[in-house]
Amino acid sequence: MQAALRLVDSIQQADDALAALNRTSEFADALVDRQALLEHLLSLQKQRDWMAEEINLLRRRDDTLNTYMARLDEELRLAGRIQQDFLPKTLPQVGRARFHTLFRPAGYVSGDLYDVVRLDSRHVGFWIADAVGHGMPAALLTMFIKHGMVTRDFTAAGMTLLTPGETLGRLNAALVEQNLTQATFATAIYGIVDTQSMDVQIARAGHPSPLRITTTGQLQDLPGCGGLLGIFPDETFETTRITLEPGQRLLFYSDGVELTFGSGDPSETTHWRDELQARTSLSSADIVNDLVGYLDNQQGSLAPKDDLTLILLEAI
């Protein structure tokens, strides 16, 4: 009996010792898990600190970029206002000649520029120039073109009007003389109208052909040719002459008309003529205003695809 009790007691002691050993093992495991947890938390803290530093760096870069973009935006707006100052404030309505214009840059500044200026008591000169490309580089080139557009000669004998062909020839020579890159060139068209007889002299340099709008609403392409400005030093430019009858109109335009009045099909380049044809029964002022309304209602009107300039001369 005593032996049995001692055996039971020994078994109990062994169970207690085993339980204690198990508790010790669990504690040790808990210590290991805790250490691993602490190391993981420390790693997460380091990652958090690194991410916070990167975020602060990105914020500083973003602030710098925003400051730069705001300054660039303001400079481009100022450049656009300056370019607008080079456009005629009022259009000379002299004798039998009446002018209407449309000017829509694709961005803050335009690669197009135009002018309508009285040359003497009887003649008015009008032109459009279109520099290759868009944005600031093209706008800078148009400023040079305006400066280089010499329309008159002054001598001791008096003032002489240059023909449009002579004016474009001098402009071309001035551009070539600058030795600009081969990718820097422009197109232009220049006309002189005798506001009494409505005889018009025209020369063009790589520019779209002007259109005569007859009193019955027909659109007639006018002849004349000439190479691009700023490429060949000895380029000559033909001066052609037409006479506008009362009620007839003459349209100068830049090639942006094909994109801004496009039908959406890149291969379709005459849709704008259909839009113009549909409005030929309107007055000249209404034609321009209606075209402006058409453009304003187009999808993407706030981001035009190209610069657009029109000069519409009417004989009354």
Residue 28 and residue 110 in one domain: no
SS3 letters across the chain: CHHHHHHHHHHHHHHHHHHHHHHHHHHHHHHHHHHHHHHHHHHHHHHHHHHHHHHHHHHHHHHHHHHHHHHHHHHHHHHHHHHHHCCCCCCCCCCCEEEEEEEECCCCCCCEEEEEEECCCCEEEEEEEEECCCHHHHHHHHHHHHHHCCCEEEECCEEEECCHHHHHHHHHHHHHHCCCCCCCCEEEEEEEEECCCCEEEEEEEECCCCEEECCCCCEEECCCCCCCECCCCCCCCCCEEEECCCCCEEEEECCCHHHHCCCCCCCCCCHHHHHHHCCCCCCHHHHHHHHHHHHHCCCCCCCCCCCEEEEEEEEC
Residue 13 and residue 140 in one domain: no
Residue 74 and residue 98 in one domain: no
Residue 108 and residue 203 in one domain: yes
Number of domains the chain is built from: 2
- Whether the full predicted model's pTM is greater than 0.95, yes or no, is no
Burial of 236 (0-12, 13-18, 19+ CB in 10 A): middle
Residue 57 and residue 197 in one domain: no
Sequence-separated (6 or more) residues with CB below 8 Å from residue 207? 128, 130, 187, 188, 189, 254, 255
Residue 176 and residue 244 in one domain: yes
Residue 145 and residue 265 in one domain: yes
- Phi and psi dihedrals of 174, rounded to 5? -65, -40
- Edge-first strand order for the sheet with 249-253 is 97-104, 308-315, 249-253, 211-213, 219-221
- pLDDT tens string, the chain, 316 residues long: the values are 555 445 445 555 555 555 555 555 554 555 556 677 677 777 877 888 888 888 888 888 888 888 888 888 888 888 888 888 989 999 999 999 999 999 999 888 999 999 999 999 999 999 999 998 778 888 989 999 999 999 999 888 889 999 999 999 999 999 999 887 766 889 999 999 999 999 999 999 999 999 999 999 999 999 888 899 998 888 999 999 999 999 999 999 999 888 888 655 656 667 899 999 999 999 999 999 999 998 888 755 556 678 999 999 999 9
Residue 101 and residue 79 in one domain: no
pLDDT of residue 312: 98
Last residue of a domain, one of 85, 103, 118: 85
Any idea of the CA torsion for 165, 105, 88, 295, to the nearest 10 degrees? 100
pLDDT of residue 8: 46
Residues β-bridged to residue 243: 199
Residue 33 and residue 152 in one domain: no
Residue 51 and residue 192 in one domain: no
Last residue of a domain, one of 22, 55, 85: 85
Domain housing 231: 89-315
Residue 105 and residue 162 in one domain: yes
Contact (CB, 8 A) for 229 and 168: yes
Last residue of a domain, one of 53, 85, 117: 85
* Cα 273 from Cα 210, distance rounded (Å): 12
pLDDT of residue 18: 52
Residue 9 and residue 81 in one domain: yes
